[in-house]
Structure 1
């Protein structure tokens, strides 16, 4: 046999000659089966239609991210509106943002989710959906939509919070439970305050206490709508708003936090604790075992 020097050979053409046409044919032929598997699995998911539609829009690049809006000549910053740590693309919102990373890290599919900055959301989901079970695909889809919803809550309403329900729940941040009581506290604060200022001071005291307990994932349920709106970005110049600003700074110490409004009837445990504070000479604090005077309301609240 005659010896010849090694040379490059393009496998996509019988003659070994590279052309754009041959490359396109090779590319579409290789990935056609992967795309078909992904779309078939997506449309077969047993989830509400709005979830499937959301995932389809995400894969098609139809999200109104700041980067997408800037490309359409909208005068807007392209940085992530949450953490300002990068350009807000589809992939950044769902997988790359610090908030999203924390969500995936605490999910049941954390070992499956890996994101590269150079990948599109379609490429990421295609890889997941082909490799994962149906149930895992459903969970991934639901988390993606929840992250996007939370992003919109922050952008349009300045509401910050967790995708998950919360590992600990609070009654006005005075009582914490997860199936059973974690901790409860009540005390008197000297001074003459308006009702909304008293609510804000109570929240500030509770936040400081919860920070000391190192609880990172919390839902604060408050029956003062004015205070909830102020904590979620409705500012002002009054003394009430100054106290609220301190609360907002404390809220930043939590990994996942939500401040939400509940009706007085759903907040009875707190009011029982507040009543007890008037008859106590000092601080009242209980860990694990609740005081007798809130047991009845606590049982009704957990049932």
Structure 2
């Protein structure tokens, strides 16, 4: 009852999801009875959302107990929405029998009001270096800054991806950004940032990422498909120098992708 409904953190999550009034209305001593009453009084969509939020709250509680990994109320609500979105997509795919390649398409989405979204990617490792690309956009999808450059060395793919996120954290913080969503299409990296740490050099970089994230007010690490990460990918694959940066006005190379993302 405390974790799911009564504590201030849970109440904030329910409020962000627009369901606090419904939760308060069915307040009861029994968690089971509360769930039954909620399912009887809310819409079908809200029933599913209630389930997703409860799961996200419990998952956040377990991460804190076992890994001391804290999460914001906004992050818990977003995790519930992402889970619901993925579930609904899976249902649609199942019904329509859409091929996997088409079903995997995903587009870039704007961050919430007051937040910035930082997308990163790395290019193919050639001639002793890896190209990296990073871009920052605001809640309106407006281009704020972009960067491309190289990481010198024969890096493994996961290590290069981790270094790109680490550098992006330094970069975003130096610009005074405190509410940031960092997106990458590396599943291994995003899962490592949210889970337990290992002993490899890759996990050493991830540990640095987690330490750096503590200097932000709120940070989220999101996994996206390549189709939603096209801008950073273009900057990474066309990196011709050690470091280039664009402020307010993006390079011609990514104009069409930025336009497509916001259309």
Q: TM-score, normalised by structure 1?
A: 0.51
Q: Distance in 2 between the 1:111 and 1:286 partners?
A: 44
Output the CA distance in 2 between the equivalents of 1:228 and 1:198.
13
- Alpha-carbon distance in structure 1 between the residues aligned to 2:34 and 2:48: 15
1:224 equivalent in alignment to 2:186: yes
Structure number with the higher strand fraction is 2
Contact 1:201 1:243 in 2 (8 A): yes
- Rounded Cα–Cα distance in structure 2 between residues aligned with 1:103 and 1:175: 27
Equivalent in the alignment of 2:106? none
Counterpart check, 1:295 vs 2:255: yes
From 240, 246, 259, give the equivalent of 2:222: 259
Deviation at 1:202, TM superposition (A): 1.0
What secondary structure is seen at the aligned counterpart in 2 of 1:297?
helix
CA contact (8 A) 1:176 1:183 kept: yes
Which shows bigger deviation, 248-257 or 156-165?
Answer: 156-165
**1:199 deviation in Å?**
1.4
Displacement of 1:250: 3.5
For residue 283 of structure 1, report the CA deviation from its aligned partner.
4.7
Matched, 1:149 2:113: no
Aligned pair in 2 of structure 1 residues 95, 107: CA closer, same or farther (>3 Å)?
same
2:169/2:213 contact within 8 Å kept: yes
CA RMSD of aligned residues (A): 4.1
In structure 1, the gaps of 5 or more residues are 1-90
Q: Which of 228, 233, 244 lines up with 1:271 in the alignment?
A: 233
Whether the aligned pair in 1 keeps the contact of 2:231 and 2:257 (CA below 8 Å) is yes
Gaps of 5+ in 2: 82-110, 121-133
Name the residue aligned to 2:76: 162
Asked which structure has the greater RCO (Cα within 8 Å, sep 6+), the reply is 2
Aligned residues: 204
Deviation string 1:105-128 (CA, Å, 9 cap, x unpaired) is 42334566559x984335656887
The match for 2:137 is 176
Question: Tell me, what secondary structure is at the counterpart of 1:247?
Answer: helix
